[in-house]
Structure 1
Amino acid sequence: MIELIQQKILDLPSARAKVAAWRLGGGKIVFTNGCFDLMHPGHLKYLAEARQLGQHLVVGVNSDASVQKLKGPHRPIMDEAARTLLLASLAFVDAVIVFGEDTPLALINALRPDVLVKGADYEEKDVVGASEVKSWGGKVALLTFVPGYSTSKIEEKIKSS
């Protein structure tokens, strides 16, 4: 079973080939990205809703070095191998790819998703890749969060216990 899950964790050439095959079959490709450091119900709701916007959900995951640069030296809490494995184990996630750059723009340009999804804490004008996705006829979707859940809040709760 674990081998089937690991097959969803792709490098860029494999992801491009997989997306091209899905597209040939008429599938709409949805892309989102994030650190996904500690999986929680907010992540699950967000990813499930993202998947409903198309036939295939690709999740870009910040590398360990990228998370540390964004969140500080105490993060990530879980390494990228653990984070990608957890994401790939979700039935509504079709592919997971790690990226090490500051933003997923190169990944977005390489995969050319039909729908780019981010959280509603963003404005469309601030979403990396939004103008590119729209330039090839795609759309941007901003999804609401589940109140009370965030990795930072979970981390604070653990530290205060």
Structure 2
Amino acid sequence: MEKIIPFSEAKLVSEKIRKEKKIVFTNGVFDLVHKGHLTYLAEARDLGDCLWVGLNSDSSVKRLKGPERPVNSEEDRALLLSCFSFVDFITVFTEDTPLSLISQVSPHIHSKGGDYNIEALPETPLVRSLGGEVKILPFVEGFSSTELIRRIRENK
């Protein structure tokens, strides 16, 4: 549980470690974790010394994905992420984008999956203004939590 950092402590923790370690930040819902998530998170961690995951809160997920999501609570999703050796810190954020959390963490690198475009990301100008860079990692085709949930609901 020491990997789960409250939003209010993110800046202090980041300031302590960023002088000695290269912080990679990513964010997402991570509702039903699958091979695509695992591959992506492991590759993101390889970009630096410390992987910090911003986790959408339950209220944020409902706004972004609909009233039936998330399937798993933010507490359960954070705990699951904390079990992975390649994840160093997790912080839940309540906004629809991680801009406030990125301001607190001030990562060296912000990474996203291959289904995103660097210039279209709302995070890109902020990350660059903080002296960081944005990297897009390859997308693992064929894996989607939304699709998996749909198949489960349809009993397929």
Question: What do you get for the CA RMSD once the two structures are aligned?
Answer: 1.1
Is the CA contact 1:15–1:95 (under 8 Å) kept in the aligned structure 2? no
- Residue 12 of structure 1, CA deviation: 2.1
Distance 1:107 1:15 in 2: 8
- Residue 20 of structure 1, CA deviation: 1.3
- Residue 138 of structure 1, CA deviation: 1.3
Distance 1:128 1:45 in 2: 24
Is the CA contact 1:104–1:128 (under 8 Å) kept in the aligned structure 2? no
- Residue 51 of structure 1, CA deviation: 0.5
Q: Structure 1 unaligned segments of length 5 or more: list them.
A: 1-5
Which of 21, 25, 30 is matched with 2:24 structurally? 30
Structure 2 residue 52 is the aligned partner of structure 1 residue 58:
yes
Which stretch of the first structure deviates more once superposed, 88-97 or 128-137?
128-137
Q: Structure 2 unaligned segments of length 5 or more: list them.
A: none
Structure 2 residue 149 is the aligned partner of structure 1 residue 155:
yes
- TM-score normalised by the chain length of structure 2: 0.95
Structure 2 residue 107 is the aligned partner of structure 1 residue 120:
no
Which of 16, 19, 24 is matched with 2:11 structurally? 16
Structure 2 residue 64 is the aligned partner of structure 1 residue 70:
yes
- Residue 160 of structure 1, CA deviation: 2.0
Which of 51, 70, 80 is matched with 2:74 structurally? 80
SS at match of 2:152: helix
Letter in 2 for 1:53: L
2:2 matched residue in structure 1? 7
Distance 1:23 1:111 in 2: 9
Structure 2 residue 33 is the aligned partner of structure 1 residue 46:
no
Identity %: 47
- Residue 69 of structure 1, CA deviation: 0.5
- TM-score normalised by the chain length of structure 1: 0.92
How many correspondences in the alignment?
155
Is the CA contact 1:33–1:59 (under 8 Å) kept in the aligned structure 2? yes
2:90 matched residue in structure 1? 96
Distance 2:143 2:5 in 1: 28
SS at match of 1:8: coil
